[in-house]
Amino acid sequence: MGNETDLISLLEFKSKMAADPYGILSSWNDSVNFCKWHGITCSSKHHRVASLKVQGMSLSGTISPYTGNLTFLSGENSCRARLFKEACYTFPQFKQPHWKDPTFCWKNLSSLQRFSVASNHMEGNIPNEMGRITSLTLLAMGDNNLVGSIPSTLYNISSIAMLSVTQNQLQGKLPANIGLTLPNLQIFEIGMNQFHGSVPVSWTNASVQLEIFDVYANSFTGQVPIDRGNLNGLQLLNLGNNFLGNNSSQDLAFITSLSNCTNLRGLSLSDNNFGGVLPSTIVNMSTLMSITLGRNQISGRIPAYIGILSICMD
């Protein structure tokens, strides 16, 4: 009975795809067991769907609520290396189910740990009900056509280590306490969207494991927080292409607070409104390999000992 449920759910998934340019789903038919379909991995014991991998396949359409009936789905068997030792890909958002309880299919995914549909053509809002998946460690939905805001419930999933929604049409402000509610955060990528407001002070209190903080190409304004925090693991800080800074002498004061980031490799501050002089403390950031400062209002002299850094400077 469970196998039949999985079969129906997968066929419903296929029926909701408006475009399959690479013919990925052509093998999804009754002529072969669904465990042998492209992108499907089944559990060896129960022969139920354990992984549904559609990342990068250029599928477009909506996802059937029947997909929520794939109750053995865990995302453990379709892994790819990135900054994480493993980053497994499953599938994206649901439209509201036909059942009376609109959160039914998300309840069935309460054990899901990794959820990604990066590089597809997904549309619409990120469902609020995703906040019910409290075991999530990886959430990757970049390079799609998602709109609206990130549900506040997602910012409260303390297990999240990677949150990546780059290159969509998402908007809104970041919660003031984001650095406190995501204590295990390692990768935070929201570049190329329409987020606005200030960069929360609490981001500097994020996990010591934080490696990437990327808010490139949004509409953030104001000063960058100078709280030193505990960012020893930070490798990339990308604040480029926003409206940060007030063309004032204190705009770059936060650079001094980054001197304790002993693993920082990249610092991007270009295309903002930073003024003032470049702090001499930048020469203490010996691990930097790239720093971009172009198209700001920075004045004064280049620090005398900048040559001791092995960096590419723009």
Calpha distance 179→185 (Å, rounded): 8
What pLDDT was estimated at residue 73? 66
Q: What is the CA radius of gyration of the chain?
A: 22
| Chain segment 267-288, per-residue pLDDT in tens | 999 999 999 999 888 878 878 8
Calpha distance 20→237 (Å, rounded): 36
What letter would DSSP give residue 277?
Answer: B
Tell me how crowded residue 148 is: count the other CB atoms within 10 A of its CB. Answer: 15
Which CATH code fits 84-313?
3.80.10.10
Calpha distance 140→159 (Å, rounded): 14
The string of DSSP letters for 48-76 reads: -EEEE--TTS--EE---GGGGG-TT--S-
Three-point CA angle 140, 145, 146, nearest 5°: 65
Q: Which residues of the chain have pLDDT under 50?
A: 1-2, 75-104, 310-313
Calpha distance 225→242 (Å, rounded): 15
Find, among 2, 37, 181, the residue nearest to 108 by Cα.
2
Sketch the domain layout of the chain as residue ranges. Answer: 84-313
Token code pair at residue 125: 């809002």
What pLDDT was estimated at residue 245? 96
145-148 and 123-125: which strand pairing?
parallel
pTM, rounded to two decimals:
0.70
Question: Alpha-carbon torsion 300, 305, 307, 311, what sign?
Answer: negative
Calpha distance 155→177 (Å, rounded): 9
What does the H/E/C string look like for 89-134?
CCCCCCCCCCCCCCCHHHHCCCCCCEEECCCCCCEEECCHHHHHCC
Q: Are 192 and 166 in contact (CB under 8 A)?
A: yes
In 3-state terms, the chain is what percent helix, strand and coil (to 5)? 20, 20, 60
Calpha distance 248→244 (Å, rounded): 11
